Amino acid sequence: MSFSFFKALRPKTPQEVAKSIKESLMALDTKTVVEVKALEKALEEVEKNFVTMRTMLSGDGESEPNLDQVSQLVEEICKEDVLTLLIHKLPILGWEARKDLVHCWSILLKHKVETNYYCVEYIEQHIELLDFLVVCYDNKDIALSCGIMLRECIKFPSLARYILESASFVLFFKFVELPNFDVASDAFSTFKDLLTKHVNVVSEFLTAHYDEFFDLYEKLLTSPNYVTRRQSLKLLSEFLLESPNSQIMKQYILEVRYLKVMMTLLRDSSKNIQLSAFHIFKVNFPSSCF
């Protein structure tokens, strides 16, 4: 029996898994993409490698993952710049591969090697990857996958802070009103996480960018889209009432233009909007404003 047969039976090491993933993703180059058969073959290889990665990271259903191997795989994925390839090749991947990637993404980010979140640190050093994920909301085929990956990133304060401070953040004001309801809803979920997950980070952001942020937010509150108005109203109440935002709330409620917005929403044709506006009006606006 040939040596290659025994080699095929031997489970791959984390280093071999990372190398195989990298090579299969790099094979999705410009030349491959334009040749149907070559693309199909390359995508099959990626899918096979992602299944191997998923099994190594989360087990096979019968046995738990080997944590030493998981740590080694996380290290290799960062060392070999596989994390960059995973994100940049997302638009080309098939549905099954994207599903496996989304599953693995959470594990990769949350896994500590000793005391360090290697993948989070990698993204901090390649921060443009977050901008890429945000912009992907414009691609409805991968928008939901990217949304899940972004929300996993937002769980870490440093990554959430970057997105809030980045030029790509303003795109959320467009994405939450995209005509595709599923994509718009997912974008709003990510937008909400950005404004509620880390209250101190959000408070610093709102203090530094008060005028620009609330100018844009006013457009959501006055949107012709019912869902946008209702969701934005509820979210406004959530983040303004956080204790670190008390000074921002005082500044907001003393501005006549925003008082007028609330007054307009109190006369909205929707009872739900009226009730939400009344709640904010009652909680946020003192009697001295009248």
* H, E, C per residue of 206-230: HHHCHHHHHHHHHHHHCCCCHHHHH
Which letter does DSSP use for residue 214 in this model? H
Domain boundaries of the chain, sorted by first residue: 11-116
- Reported pTM: 0.90
As a whole number of angstroms, the distance between CA 24 and CA 40 comes to 12
| H or E element in which residue 56 lies | helix 36-58
Nearest to 42 by CA among 21, 57, 56: 21
Per-residue model confidence (pLDDT) at position 289: 47
Using DSSP's 3-state secondary structure scheme, residue 108 falls into: helix
Residues 6+ apart with CB under 8 A from 63: none
8 A C-beta contact, residue 231 and residue 188: yes
User: Would you tell me how many other CB atoms lie within 10 Å of the CB of residue 43?
Assistant: 20
Per-residue model confidence (pLDDT) at position 8: 53
List the pLDDT tens digit at each of the 290 positions of the chain: 454 544 556 788 999 999 999 999 999 987 777 788 888 899 999 999 999 999 999 988 778 999 999 999 999 999 999 999 999 999 999 999 999 999 999 999 999 998 999 999 999 999 999 999 999 999 999 999 999 999 999 999 999 999 999 999 999 999 999 999 999 999 999 999 999 999 999 999 999 999 999 999 999 999 999 999 999 999 998 998 888 988 898 888 788 998 899 889 888 888 888 888 887 767 665 544 44
